[in-house]
Amino acid sequence: MTTPLNIGIAGLGTVGAGVVRLLNDNAALVTRRAGRVIRVVAVSARDRTRDRGIDLAGADWVDAPEQLAHHTGVDVVVELIGGAEGPAKALAAASIAAKRPFITANKAMLAAHGMALARAAEAASVPLKYEAAVAGGLPVIKGLREGAAANRITQISGILNGTCNYILSTMEATGREFADVLAEAQHLGYAEADPSFDIDGIDAAHKLSILACLAFGTRIDCAAVSTNGIRAVDACDIAQANALGFCIRLIGQAAYDAGGLYQAVRPMLVPLDHPLAHVKGAINAVTVDADPVGQLQFEGPGAGAGPTASAVVADLIDLARGSNGAPFGMPVAALEAAAPADPGARIARSYVRFAVEDKPGVLAEITAAMRDCAVSIETLIQRGEAPGGGVLVVMTTHEGPEGAVARALAQLGQSSALTSPPLVLPILG
């Protein structure tokens, strides 16, 4: 009889409990696909008494997660604690040092320490797997690392945070303001009590840095991701974008060329005929432009017990089959240390929203600043009241360096005609 694959799980929250439930409910199918039984033999969680609705009979409880790395019955350690530092990082280091294959859903830890963990895993000949760290149940990690391995990838664009997508698509459908929809998202459990990690773009930046590493063969550099969240997006922006033939989505975008590695997370205007425009609710989607295959798209639930547990168990099945390889598609020594690209050199169209005083000469002042900085205006609309007071003026530009728009707005920064700072959103090409 084939030897079972025994696992230890650290963290029995929504995802951890989901993994146990999935292994129990689909035990026969998982065994057939893995070629051996996969069973939970040890767990670590803060509260032993909590009823999680799962069967943990026969599993040993250990008080400290790090103990799983040295548990004699554990073949594979699964980390579902979260956080870039603390117990999660300690468990990762201890597991690899003890030559235990390590599976994680922790994008924050990988964004901060992925290169060091990969080096250690390579040196110890230990598998490090993380399909669940980006986009939940979407097989985008495997798709980039294996399915598209022969392709030259030119760009990645993705909706990487379900909370932000729920908020923006709900604002679009209902016309409601950001604060109102955020409160609803918190009530429904899509957003945390402190939603900063999601709505300020940090979560999406972690995920984008991992995808960029896999796509371009570059080292993870999360600190270089230009990150802007969705707090400043108003209902008037949603309405104006729609009138112009766009919707607004928080987009993570990465590209690598002679100018360096470009990585940015920010709200963007997305043409209504673009695949990402049709992604609504708490859904993730990633489009990959590759040569020779063309454009690939991955779409589906990006979070929650079922999708994330599905990705964790997929990694377990790979390990049971003996599938392994460099964590980031090639040895860390072969990954390029890419210089960050100058975001101001990025060629794009832009949407600019102004709130201005209703007086003669304001439009002339705005257009003069754009002329002086070589920004070509495509449309200029004055319509209705701006959020916070003043008159709403909306502009779209022709293609040009994003730095030129930034210089024009800096020139207008001291203008008494502006009642609040302008909002600039790139237009997805």
3-state secondary structure of 322: coil
Q: Which of 59, 54, 58 is nearest to 25 (CA)?
A: 54
Domains for the chain: give ranges and CATH numbers: 5-137+308-325 (3.40.50.720), 140-301 (3.30.360.10), 344-427 (3.30.70.260)
The predicted pLDDT at position 375 comes to 96
CB-facing half-sphere around the CA of 286: CA atoms within 13 A: 29
For residue 54, name the pLDDT band (cuts at 50, 70, 90): confident
Distances (CA, A) of 144 to 151, 179, 251, 259: 9, 36, 18, 23
Tokens of 331: 């040895």
Instruction: Report angle CA 413, 414, 417 to the nearest 5 degrees.
Output: 95
Q: What is the mean pLDDT of residues 202-213?
A: 97
Strand residue runs (E) in 53-94: 60-61, 76-79
What are 77-102's pLDDT values in tens digits?
A: 999 999 999 999 999 999 999 999 99
For residue 119, name the pLDDT band (cuts at 50, 70, 90): very high
Let me know if 207 is a catalytic residue. Answer: yes
Q: What is the DSSP letter of 418?
A: E
% the chain with pLDDT above 90: 79
The predicted pLDDT at position 323 comes to 79
Sign of CA dihedral 88, 93, 99, 104: positive
The predicted pLDDT at position 384 comes to 78
Residues forming a β-bridge with 295 = 289
Q: What is the mean pLDDT of residues 242-246?
A: 95
Which residue shows structure tokens 């990705």? 311
Q: What is the DSSP letter of 216?
A: H
pLDDT at 290 over 80: yes
Which residue shows structure tokens 């939970």? 40
Instruction: Report angle CA 274, 280, 282 to the nearest 5 degrees.
Output: 135
State the Cα–Cα distance between residues 421 and 9, nearest whole angstrom. Answer: 48
State the Cα–Cα distance between residues 286 and 64, nearest whole angstrom. Answer: 37
Quick count: other Cβ atoms within 10 Å of Cβ 221? Answer: 18
| Cβ–Cβ under 8 Å, residues 363 and 396 | no
What are 414-427's pLDDT values in tens digits?
A: 888 898 899 999 99
What are 350-376's pLDDT values in tens digits?
A: 999 999 998 889 999 999 999 999 999
Q: Where are the alpha helices (DSSP H) in 276-349?
A: 305-321
State the Cα–Cα distance between residues 263 and 265, nearest whole angstrom. Answer: 7
Which residue shows structure tokens 């589906």? 300
Q: Is the peptide bond before 292 cis (omega within 30 degrees of 0)?
A: yes
Q: Which of 69, 90, 8 is nearest to 43 (CA)?
A: 8
What are 125-171's pLDDT values in tens digits?
A: 999 999 999 988 888 999 999 988 899 999 999 999 999 999 999 99
CA 11 to the chain's CA centroid? 21
The predicted pLDDT at position 88 comes to 96
Q: What is the mean pLDDT of residues 253-282?
A: 94
Q: Which of 247, 231, 138, 226 is nearest to 191 (CA)?
A: 231
Quick count: other Cβ atoms within 10 Å of Cβ 174? Answer: 13
Compute and round to an integer the Cα radius of gyration of the chain: 24
Q: Which of 289, 298, 286, 296 is nearest to 159 (CA)?
A: 286
| Cβ–Cβ under 8 Å, residues 155 and 129 | no
**pTM recorded for the entire structure:** 0.94
Tokens of 97: 């040092």
State the Cα–Cα distance between residues 403 and 422, nearest whole angstrom. Answer: 15
Q: Which of 306, 309, 327 is nearest to 40 (CA)?
A: 309
Catalytic site residue from 89, 129, 207, 280: 207
The predicted pLDDT at position 165 comes to 94
